[in-house]
Amino acid sequence: MKCWRRGPDWLGDFPVVVTGASAPRVTSVIMTVEATRFADPHQRTDNGHARGGRPVIGISSYTERAQWGTWDTPALLLPRRYGDSVAAAGGIPVLLPPFPGIEHAALRLDGLILCGGGDIDPAEFEAAPHPETGGIRPERDAAEFALVSAALERGLPLLGICRGMQVLNVALGGTLHQHLPSVVGHDGHCPIPGSYGSHLVRVAPGSQLSGILGGAGQLDELPVPTHHHQGIDRLGDGLIATAWAADGVIEAVEFAAPEQTGQRFALGVQWHPEAGTDPRLFRALVAAAKSLAGAAA
């Protein structure tokens, strides 16, 4: 059903579609022209994009207790590698904290990265928690589901990394394997506590991912940095798998018909490109974001 929800003071009210628990989490967010005008600050162009030609890439961050100097307190965190990768690719990285209403920042972004991290609450895909499921942060789940909804509504270029790919899948009604060693019989996807392992992935020829990482007929398998104990079980609505590990675990997803969804760039990878030496996924995201910003100018 459709109901009205109160947004921030500068945005006003907007309608959202409320769905049942078993339906995709993505909602339809409808913004008025007047609302987007009020959202534009003085340092942005009339279409809301950054001046200077460098696209603004939002990166989801999270809240954890942290220590630095003499301090030991809750902090907003993001491994620096994400920001470094975006900056090296020509984008401007902006951290997005897991606060209510953070999805409205999508009006001022040119692209979005959903980063890795702890497990999604299995209640979000109607499952009981596995004994090994942990690190659940409900406020982060809520913020990132809302960011996915806003990004898809706007057609923002989107890259989901590790947990981020899983968030995209669950947001679209998919489910997860909560502990892969119980499914595949080994811990090769997370072999080293506190560090990254490596394994090969096979990429589907003709996919958007293949075009970025090698092109049709040029790519068979490639090594990737890995650290995850969960993975995709049932694919979300509209998604297809485009890379797999040797044990059959899904390692990448994209939309089956991007021309119909309006998502010119929307990918999820189970590995951690920010921890490797291959910058092509970040370059492709920034290029897509720059194209979007230029089209809106």
Are the beta carbons of 289 and 111 closer than 8 angstroms?
yes
Are the beta carbons of 254 and 267 closer than 8 angstroms?
yes
Question: Which residues have CB under 8 Å from 234's CB, separation 6+?
Answer: 174, 175
Question: Which residues have CB under 8 Å from 140's CB, separation 6+?
Answer: 60, 62, 63, 98, 117, 118
Residues serving a catalytic function are: 162, 272, 274
Distance CA 57, CA 158 (A): 9
